[in-house]
Structure 1
């Protein structure tokens, strides 16, 4: 079994948004996951169950509802040489994840997923679609590429550019990666900046013991896996065997499909907050949140 390196009950979220001026409080929202001590989603929560703060100041939680907005999910798969012995288990886990995320919702919205291979260069195996059959064909195209490394950091940058171009309303990145060589020539801050600006939640399942080497590329990758997941409301799990991938991806699917949309009052201010935190009001629950990025008006 793997072990989870969980975020704390309160999560810092970097807000990158233009300053606004209003005569009264405006409403802002977050997508929030709430898990119990067993790691299962907690149902039937209301406004009194959440604590939202901006730069340490408590804000009034106005309403809480199940998050039913469709997601745009980039699934990044390490198909490098390092994953050679794990491909069969990866496919099995991805098949279950795709099935769970394309099941639809009571609100009728359909999530769109893309399957991206990471070996040598980010490669689209299946572009964004809600068609389960097409996505499963993409999973079947996951093969290990001999004598290759992985470009996880480059793929994250490219996915964030795509989210911006297509104005993704609820972007999510889910990475399944090994501790194999990272070939992206990117400093961690050049990856975190577009990731945080995109409004995407970043979830990562890392196959292999923590560490991942001492090279500059490995350290940059480690920083992105650590801070990128924590600061976007995502999660990072390390698993020691690929046989644990199906259960861990199942946990990610359960978390994503049982989130809340938490709306709170943001007072008039010319200076936007640097940090927003969300926490569960009761002991025994952990909350992680992703601030919903404000849509910018189109220029004529």
Structure 2
């Protein structure tokens, strides 16, 4: 009788293991990737980093970094330029800063693929000066058509919305927005949520360079603009630089180009889950370095860097 019970027990255990067996693949890790910038204390890109140099967390839970490689996928870059009346004294420096930025961003990438850039003015209303192209000559012609619009205000937030929707419609795989703004009045009349939502939906990295001393404007439009600049850059792995003088813009744009063209593709493992993370962060493992990143467009789900 005892022997029979043991046989029956073993059979039940084997049957239970058979039922559990097929479920194991559900617990296997999946891979996600991020585009990550790493800068040293001088603001220059840090080369030759590996998996041990990065710390990736999902909702504050550390994940294993599997591999790190140079980011080689071509970018789709929208350059938003404030050409409102407030930018009148800054236009010369803006036009001086953009050519080298264009040259750096349109250099040949892997397998001969090039980044595509567009130039969009946001004074009075968002206006495409040069549509997306890798052609330097076309972009340089567009730079020559940047002039301040008299008696106009900035519609930067409207420009971010339109560009973000355009990225999503054309299924841009590595979208980037670089905004050159001033501290002049903002007339978009858009709540910051209505701007940040399409920005995140597009999966675009947002970088902002703001010219002039911080404004004392406390209007709703100014507050919405300030929140978009701060949160839009922070949550998408972008940079936010406030330049007191527009003469500093050429050097700042060089730094932006260097950062964008020296990013890493960081791939990490996470357990399968029906609930995606609310927040994904990346940090440098060593002191003296700053890391910022954004999930690849196809893998964003609901996670936010």
The equivalent of 2:153 in structure 1 is 149
**TM-score, structure 1 as length reference:** 0.90
**Is the counterpart of residue 234 in structure 1 residue 238 in structure 2?**
yes
Deviation at 1:200, TM superposition (A): 0.5
**Is the counterpart of residue 257 in structure 1 residue 264 in structure 2?**
no
**Is the counterpart of residue 108 in structure 1 residue 115 in structure 2?**
no
The equivalent of 2:208 in structure 1 is 204
Contact 2:173 2:298 in 1 (8 A): no
Deviation at 1:107, TM superposition (A): 3.9
Which digits, 9 at most, give the CA deviation of each residue in 1:48-100, with x for residues without a partner?
10010111111111110000100000000000100111111100101111111
Which digits, 9 at most, give the CA deviation of each residue in 1:141-162, with x for residues without a partner?
1000000001000000000100
After TM superposition, list the pairs within 5 Å mapping 1:139-218 onto structure 2: 139-211=143-215, 213-218=217-222
In 1, Cα distance between equivalents of 2:150 and 2:138: 25
SS at structure 2 position matched to 1:234: coil
Q: Which has the higher contact order (CA 8 A, sep 6+)?
A: 1
Deviation at 1:24, TM superposition (A): 2.0
Deviation at 1:109, TM superposition (A): 1.9
Deviation at 1:210, TM superposition (A): 2.1
Deviation at 1:242, TM superposition (A): 1.0
Which of 82, 89, 93 is residue 85 of structure 1 equivalent to? 89
After TM superposition, list the pairs within 5 Å mapping 1:94-105 onto structure 2: 94-105=98-109
**Using a 3 Å threshold, how does the CA distance of structure 1 residues 34 and 73 change in structure 2: closer, same or farther?**
same
In 1, Cα distance between equivalents of 2:134 and 2:72: 15
Contact 2:65 2:268 in 1 (8 A): yes
In 2, Cα distance between equivalents of 1:144 and 1:212: 23
SS at structure 2 position matched to 1:85: coil
SS at structure 2 position matched to 1:294: helix
In 1, Cα distance between equivalents of 2:33 and 2:27: 19
**TM-score, structure 2 as length reference:** 0.88
Higher helix fraction (1 or 2): 2
Structure 1 portions without partners, runs of 5+: 1-20
The equivalent of 2:277 in structure 1 is 273
Which digits, 9 at most, give the CA deviation of each residue in 1:3-36, with x for residues without a partner?
xxxxxxxxxxxxxxxxxx9552111000000000
Contact 1:212 1:218 in 2 (8 A): no
**Using a 3 Å threshold, how does the CA distance of structure 1 residues 225 and 24 change in structure 2: closer, same or farther?**
same
Which digits, 9 at most, give the CA deviation of each residue in 1:192-216, with x for residues without a partner?
1111121100000000112351111
The equivalent of 2:62 in structure 1 is 58
Q: Alignment RMSD, CA only? A: 1.3
SS at structure 2 position matched to 1:60: strand
In 2, Cα distance between equivalents of 1:197 and 1:164: 7
Contact 1:68 1:107 in 2 (8 A): no
Question: What is the aligned length?
Answer: 276
Which of 41, 50, 57 is residue 46 of structure 1 equivalent to? 50
Which of 289, 294, 298 is residue 290 of structure 1 equivalent to? 294
SS at structure 1 position matched to 2:90: helix
Structure 2 portions without partners, runs of 5+: 1-24, 301-305
SS at structure 1 position matched to 2:297: coil
Deviation at 1:295, TM superposition (A): 6.4
In 2, Cα distance between equivalents of 1:227 and 1:106: 32
